[in-house]
Amino acid sequence: MTQHSENPHLISSAAVVVGTDGSDGSQAAVRWAARTAAARERVLHIVHSTEPLTDRTPRSAYDAFIYATMQDIRLAAEQVLADARDQARATAPGITVTTELADGNPARTLIAASAHAHLVVLGVSSWAGSIAHLGSTLLAVTSHAQGAVVIVRGPDPDRRTGPVVVGVDGSNVSEPAIAAAFAEASLRGAELVAVHGWSDLSKGEFGGSSYLSLPVADFETAEAALLAERLAGWAEQFPDVIVRREVEIYGPRERLAQWSRTAQLVVVGSRGRGGFRGLLLGSTSNWLVQHAGCPVMVVHHD
């Protein structure tokens, strides 16, 4: 593992960490992370991972070929980091940038970094793409990292207008996401839209569910009260944030996706630890990472 910085002591536990592989999606992530780090006066730490070089002395033509190939890979990786560092400095002049060339699995590297990061940031090569475009690294980090992970995606990931939107399921698992969303809205001077979802079912599926015994209107009243209760304490802590509340009895992820077309950030919780509402959070966050039209922040429950 190799780290580079004008001042190695500035590799901070509060750094914005961004993973890069040189793709268009990761370049967008580096720009987003650089602007965020500059706005919050934090160090930007750029990470790229390769398979480890063997320390064994080449003993055959095959060994020599493999060693030479790995050396080329290492040189290419160093160039990826240098390009990302230059792009970050061009995006946010004066920012402090550190870089890390890590040996081994990139997902494990970023998950380990998340334990001490302010944010972990990753990009998507195709904003309108399917799961194939996301890659195993992005999904692994989104599912298993600590703290908050931002997936930079959408046709205009640098959008600075529109609200911050948060998905709320009413359980304790959503509290970290609500806290993060209020903080983001306050920092950005943006309105906060809180979308409360009771069920991931579609309208047709919801209508055919045998376990529902109360009228939808009664659900809406009860869930609106629950949403107001969940938001009340945070609204007191962030009096500068204007809050709009929405209750979706069915299809909340589709509603969040609609908001993502004009929002500057969508915030959701990570997979829950059991129970129907926890499963709702997990399926919604996974779906949005694949389909949202703006950056998505996935906040993990401690």
Q: Where are the beta strands (DSSP E) in 136-221?
A: 148-152, 164-168, 192-197
- Mean of pLDDT over the chain: 78
Q: Residue 159 domain-assigned?
A: no
Q: Give the residue-averaged pLDDT of 5-26.
A: 71
Q: Residue 92 domain-assigned?
A: yes
Q: Give the residue-averaged pLDDT of 232-254.
A: 84
Same domain, 135 and 177: no
Residue type, 149: V
Same domain, 6 and 145: yes
Over residues 117-155, the pLDDT tens digits come to 999 999 986 433 333 334 678 888 888 899 999 999 988
Tally of domains within the chain: 2
Same domain, 145 and 226: no
Residue 124 near residue 151, CB atoms below 8 Å: yes
User: Would you place residue 92 in the very low, low, confident or very high pLDDT band (cuts 50, 70, 90)?
Assistant: very high
What backbone phi and psi angles, to 5 degrees, belong to 193?
-105, 120
Bridging pattern class, strands 44-50 and 243-248 = unpaired
Cα atoms in the 13 Å half-sphere on the side-chain side of 1: 11
Same domain, 51 and 174: no
Q: CA 8 to CA 181: how far, in whole Å?
A: 32
Measured in residues, the chain has a length of: 302
Q: CA 258 to CA 260: how far, in whole Å?
A: 5
Same domain, 140 and 203: no
Domain that includes residue 78, residue range:
2-152
Over residues 190-230, the pLDDT tens digits come to 999 998 876 554 444 444 444 455 455 555 666 666 777 77
User: Would you place residue 48 in the very low, low, confident or very high pLDDT band (cuts 50, 70, 90)?
Assistant: very high
Q: CA 143 to CA 145: how far, in whole Å?
A: 6
Task: From 96, 129, 152, give the residue that closes a domain.
Answer: 152
Least confident of 28-42, 186-200, 267-281: 267-281
pTM of the model: 0.80
